[in-house]
Structure 1
Amino acid sequence: MRRTTAFCVLLASICTGLVFGTVLNFDFSHTTPLRISVSGAPGAPLSVQAAGSAFPNAGEVRILTRGTGRLIAERGQLRYRAQAFIYQKGYKPIDRNSEIVFSGSARKKELKDLAPAVLGMREGSRVALLKRTDSAVRLEIVIVDILPTVLRGPWIRPPAGTNLPEITPGKDGIPVSVSGPQQGPYSALTVYQAVKGSGVQVKPHDTVTANYLLVNSAGKVLENTWKKSAPAKFKISQALEGLREAVTDQRCGSRIAVGIPAAEAQGKNDLTVVIDILGTESETGRQTGDGKE
């Protein structure tokens, strides 16, 4: 009888703990999944909304948009814009914490916490990295837009019968060759847009981030920056005369083919350049992701 009574008391204690969450120190507080909504064009300033109370215990990566561009590999080319926001449980407004616009080489050691959100992804992806802060009710949400190093879009070919270069794209849309003029040397600077961009216009004193293929009049490739570990950067004011004139006032996100006469190429031969205008940096140091500000 005593054993039965003791067992009943123990069972009652356990049940009390299960109901009130006190004796066994259980936490039965209601949580809802964290939902994130992001608005804004890739590379542009974003607005973020979040709701929910279930925070990850460690860094969590969520793919919000899966890109189809070039794969980001260790030591390969990389461009991204990362914008960090602070979310606090119970509060809808989100405070912008910081942002980074990066163009260079993808290195895990330098990417640090961002590495899982970048390496192995494809250009055009939008990724959310969720990071716990030192507060139990605050969460850092980092939105990473992986920007293109190869521009894509509706392909515009040069009109037939004109003295314009012809681009041959290869894997991932990277130009592998470009023909010179079909009707003799360039008599004047020749420019046409193969892909039309919609970003900000390049100004005469900007620093441009770009990839390009440079070919001489014999069709020999002199330089191909797509094969390098990072996109090129150059000041418009210090570029070849013909290239400076061709790129100024173009919009970021454009791919242009430029035929430069020898007189404007600082040499004895014509040059043909295919250039993807990826982003700009003004004299004040302000950078654009893909120019959509």
Structure 2
Amino acid sequence: MSDFQSRRETRLPIESIVLPFLGSRGADYQPFDYIVQDVSPGGVKIVIPSWVLGRERIHQGERINLHVPFEIGGKVLYSGTAAWQRLDLDGQGQIVGVAMDQGRPLSYPVFFSVSSRQLAIDFSSFESKGSLLAKLAKDLYLLKQGCLIYLKHLSAFFSRISDLSYEEYGQFREFVFEDIIARTKKNADYLTMFHERMAKSNGSLEETCAVVDLAELRQAVEPEMYIELFKSVYTDSFAMQYLYAIKELENKLYMGYNTLVLVYCSTL
């Protein structure tokens, strides 16, 4: 590797990545924590930690989105189906083998290479390593702000198309919708401050990552809206399209968060 490549590119063995990522179910968009255990041309083996199993468990044949790019056979894949699953006898959690089959172009120059069994981060298109972190932070706050804008517009729009009575919808809006909007705004405000802090950082990538609180960041990225709850209120397909659009923004949030975790891991 040339001196330029060593400065601009980082490669780490997959087994060194021990922090959890955010995945989501294909059916209901619900997020879950997982840890990458192994990769092969046949797919990806992940562990759903034991602390997650009380809330989430993956079933064989279920589609799941890992929101992390895996380069397999020249293709970049993010999603697949659970080919098999079993509980780990040592109590780590549920082990799932994911047959990866759906992809999209890279959003960021960060991916798992299955052939080399390494994490690859290419900083060559950024002024500095820290500017990649600032880019990720900016995207996170913009995406959450987008969710907030959608929700505010939809709150008023849905009042006219809900199958609930006027009184019932008033209660739903007060105790459910307004709570969702309030929590989304709180998280959007946090991500805005996080972006400003990352943009102003003049330290090295290691110094900047050292002040990142991944637990707080994850909480701010998590969704505030459970789509199954709204399915029982709105049967209008046009309305559901807006809700699914919010979920797609959340999927991009997971991707940005996971990429930030990978960059964070490169400094450990």
Q: Same fold (TM over 0.5)?
A: no
- Which has the larger helix fraction? 2
Choose between structure 1 and 2 for higher RCO, CA contacts under 8 A separated by at least 6 residues.
Answer: 2
The TM-score normalised by the length of structure 1 is 0.26
The TM-score normalised by the length of structure 2 is 0.27
- Which has the larger strand fraction? 1
